[in-house]
Structure 1
């Protein structure tokens, strides 16, 4: 089968022909129909992600497809069942083996492309805003990187939770995508003073930050007393340093959120969140925004769309 693999961090990924994997105990093999890309895939290529496997490994953290076969002594959905799974790796291939306990059965009518774009982006934003920040109706939510894979879902979910949503993104086209997702106010990160714009809107109660760097610092200074700041990632490449004395003055809280980490110590947080999100999908309250769908032989080009920030929402790769 074909797989987009990392053989060495010094060499970079390439499309390879490898044997089909055989599922072990507790695993199932999936015939992969779609794989959602994430910024973490770019970090894995360089060996900089916190959960980067040892090479060789296949990129692709979240997939959707059909159950092919079950491993020995494995309980799981029957072959042919349509499912999605966050595997952490192995998605940019034609087949993959994954832990059966992580598999979720798809709602009827959910496209494989939507399912592959769903778990990490929506799961991260929902757990962050609901479980961690306890976002309340009427509060003001600032979303940085608001047209990106997770940022756009934060706009959508924040609006569903009753917040006033300020979307910050680069350029008019990306801001229009955020507006269509429900943003009430727009800030252009290329031309606007983020702090001044937020203060003019009354300040912010919750900050959702997958960017870091200068944008974090501007948002930090625009916070109202008792605001909560969610650090989701550092797409800018700069991990900001937090002045602890300023936390005291405004009684601020800074919270880290790594969605995949909950699968290891509190999986019920993830499963409960996904049940809510799938219910919202089935009733038409949320719908993944996918800007590009590319075939597996263009996986390098698909990753470049993320790296160069040419995409909005999610980029999805399919085997054909």
Structure 2
């Protein structure tokens, strides 16, 4: 089969190679999947660079989530051949391949309401959004949610989930093209960070949009200046959910500032729930499936890229030039 592999760390476009490798075989408790779609995530670029919190041995295949069809099952499994599932493969054998063997426990039924590319993009980003907004920040209907990078893969999921929860959503984006995407996603207010005066201007724009109150919940996958601006426009008893650092800058929170303004800083590492609360992950999948079935959420797939274009796609996601989700379809 064909699979993308990384033999040394560096920029995705430079280090990813499409190679012929042996077909995997499912062991006990595992399923062999034919990959129908693999969603590109920012962590794929970090894995290539060697900057992710998990560093698989070289060589490895990137790709942390997929939609696939079961073609064979190992001993002790109950999923029938032909079943369409979404799954998280175990690195170093990631999703950017034609075939992947995965633990049955890391698979869930693909929602019928979504096609392969949409289903591949439903899992990590939407699970992260749901746990961040509901389990960590306890977002309530009528509250104001501020989403940074609202036109991106992670941000677009949070926008849809916020609207489904009955929140007023303010989306922050970089550029008029992304502003149009955020508006189409349903943001009540869209702020182009490039059109305001830095951190101060962004904070003032949020306060203006909220009548001076600020945002009740901030969803931040960016860090850096985005986080700094958030601390200046978070409401009384507001909650800032720290999801990631796409800017490349990890903030150093001023805890005295959090104390004086009476807001909470909430970290979210969704992957830990797979270890500490797997039942909650499956319950979240059921909730996301129900939301998809009634049309309340639908992953924004901006590009469907053939297998040969995967390295370039991962690079463009890393560079922040894409909107929504870029999905590889072998």
Q: In structure 2, list runs of 5 or more residues that go unmatched.
A: none
The residue correspondences of 1:155-174 to structure 2 (distance < 5 A) are 155-174=159-178
* Equivalent residues of 1:230, 1:255 under 8 A apart: yes
Q: Secondary structure at the match of 2:157?
A: helix
Q: 2:82 aligned with 1:80, yes or no?
A: yes
Alpha-carbon separation, structure 2, partners of 1:88 and 1:152: 26
* Number of equivalences: 318
Q: 2:204 aligned with 1:196, yes or no?
A: yes
State the shift of 1:64 in Å: 0.7
Measured against aligned partners, the alpha-carbon deviations of 1:67-119 in whole angstroms (never above 9, x if no partner) come to: 011123x2231111111102254100000011101111123353111111110
* Equivalent residues of 2:89, 2:100 under 8 A apart: no
* Equivalent residues of 1:6, 1:55 under 8 A apart: yes
Alpha-carbon separation, structure 2, partners of 1:163 and 1:76: 40
Q: Secondary structure at the match of 1:121?
A: helix
Q: Secondary structure at the match of 1:83?
A: strand
Q: Which residue of 2 aligns with 1:229?
A: 240
State the shift of 1:314 in Å: 0.3
Alpha-carbon separation, structure 2, partners of 1:191 and 1:219: 17
Alpha-carbon separation, structure 2, partners of 1:43 and 1:173: 25
State the shift of 1:60 in Å: 0.5
Q: 2:3 aligned with 1:3, yes or no?
A: yes
TM-score by length of 1: 0.96
Alpha-carbon separation, structure 1, partners of 2:291 and 2:23: 36
Q: Secondary structure at the match of 1:190?
A: helix
Alpha-carbon separation, structure 2, partners of 1:3 and 1:261: 28
* Equivalent residues of 1:247, 1:253 under 8 A apart: yes
Measured against aligned partners, the alpha-carbon deviations of 1:43-74 in whole angstroms (never above 9, x if no partner) come to: 000111112311121111001111011123x2
TM-score by length of 2: 0.93
Measured against aligned partners, the alpha-carbon deviations of 1:180-232 in whole angstroms (never above 9, x if no partner) come to: 11111111111212111112223111100000001110111111111100011
Q: Which residue of 1 aligns with 2:144?
A: 140
Q: Secondary structure at the match of 1:50?
A: coil
Which residue of 43, 53, 56 maps to 2:46? 43
> Where has structure 1 moved over 4 Å in runs of 4 or more?
none
* Equivalent residues of 2:4, 2:19 under 8 A apart: yes
* Equivalent residues of 1:62, 1:88 under 8 A apart: no
Alpha-carbon separation, structure 1, partners of 2:112 and 2:324: 23
| Root mean square deviation, CA, Å | 1.3
Which residue of 185, 191, 203 maps to 1:187? 191
Bigger shift: residues 145-154 or 253-262: 253-262
Q: Secondary structure at the match of 1:292?
A: strand
Bigger shift: residues 282-291 or 34-43: 282-291
Q: 2:224 aligned with 1:213, yes or no?
A: yes
Q: Which residue of 2 aligns with 1:124?
A: 128
Q: 2:311 aligned with 1:300, yes or no?
A: yes
Q: 2:302 aligned with 1:288, yes or no?
A: no
Measured against aligned partners, the alpha-carbon deviations of 1:267-289 in whole angstroms (never above 9, x if no partner) come to: 12211111111111111121110
Which residue of 15, 20, 24 maps to 2:23? 20
* Equivalent residues of 1:76, 1:101 under 8 A apart: no
